[in-house]
């Protein structure tokens, strides 16, 4: 029941299953810094199943992560350092954010087993070079972060034109599978992928994506364009970025929200 056409069956695991299928992704600086030291949660190991979602290969992913998008290197370093000190145990980064060396400096102050690290590689459009170029990007992620492995590696977005570049997408996914088999990532997935993008890589995949990280918040409804339920059928966890909205305060201070809370 957990398999879907085009993907291999999910491997059985003895890890206890959680009931969570939706996780929250990138939290903005204002949100993370609003937690005072008195309110800070106790540090939670990334394999504490009470605060994680189990991915389709049995890896436990913490439910809430601290994002680093749009941060200068200095702000990224100080934010990750502060977040880890307050109890965050999942950090979300990306090669395209141009701040991973600073993120790595903050991570270096903590035991590797104490946090879960997600990062990403950009898309590629050339089928002939996608595997080699992606392999270089994967190595650059590790070098910039100062790590020998990451917990979750994502393809950041599909190429412009989407499945017009299906062969390149498949070659890029093959590079992630190679990275995964080399134990340089505990899990691999995608970001901003729609159904057609997922179907494209499925035709050549040996490993089902563990995660699809997409913009997702309550204002979009429970299952925008059917993407969450589609992922559920494939065993792909839907991870939300901008869970409090993007560029608007409507979900925090709008009339409907404040009226409900009045």
Distance CA 33, CA 192 (A): 27
Distance CA 53, CA 90 (A): 12
* The one catalytic residue among 7, 71, 88, 97: 97
Using CA atoms, how far residue 224 sits from 120, 203, 233, in Å, is: 23, 24, 15
For the question of residue 180 being annotated catalytic, the response is: no
Distance CA 207, CA 101 (A): 29
The count of C-alpha atoms lying within 13 angstroms of the C-alpha of 241, restricted to the half-sphere facing its C-beta, is 20
Is residue 197 within 8 A of residue 221, CB to CB? The reply is: no
Nearest partner of 120 among 147, 88, 150, judged by Cα:
150
Residues forming the active site: 97
């Amino acid at each position: 029941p957990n398999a879907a056409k085009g993907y291999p069956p999910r491997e059985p695991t003895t890890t206890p299953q959680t009931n969570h299928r939706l996780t929250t992704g990138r939290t903005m600086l204002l949100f993370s810094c609003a937690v005072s030291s008195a309110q800070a949660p106790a540090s939670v190991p990334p394999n504490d199943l009470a605060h994680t979602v189990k991915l389709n290969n049995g890896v436990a992913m913490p439910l809430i992560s601290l994002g680093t998008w749009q941060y200068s290197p200095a702000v990224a370093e100080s934010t990750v350092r502060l977040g880890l000190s307050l109890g965050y145990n999942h950090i979300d980064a990306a090669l395209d954010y141009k701040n991973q060396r600073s993120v790595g400096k903050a991570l270096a102050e903590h035991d590797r087993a104490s946090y879960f690290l997600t990062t990403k590689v950009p898309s590629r459009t050339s089928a002939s070079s996608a595997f080699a170029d992606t392999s270089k990007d994967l190595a650059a992620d590790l070098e910039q972060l100062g790590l020998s492995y990451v917990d979750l590696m994502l393809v950041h977005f599909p190429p412009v034109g989407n499945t017009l570049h299906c062969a390149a997408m498949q070659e890029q996914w093959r590079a992630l599978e190679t990275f995964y088999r080399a134990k340089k990532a505990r899990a691999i997935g995608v970001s901003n992928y729609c159904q057609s993008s997922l179907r494209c890589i499925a035709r050549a995949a040996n490993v089902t994506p563990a995660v699809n990280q997409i913009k997702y918040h309550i204002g979009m409804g429970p299952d925008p364009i059917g993407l969450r339920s589609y992922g559920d059928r494939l065993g792909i966890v839907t991870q939300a970025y901008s869970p409090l909205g993007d560029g608007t305060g409507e979900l925090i201070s709008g009339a409907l929200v404040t009226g409900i809370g009045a």
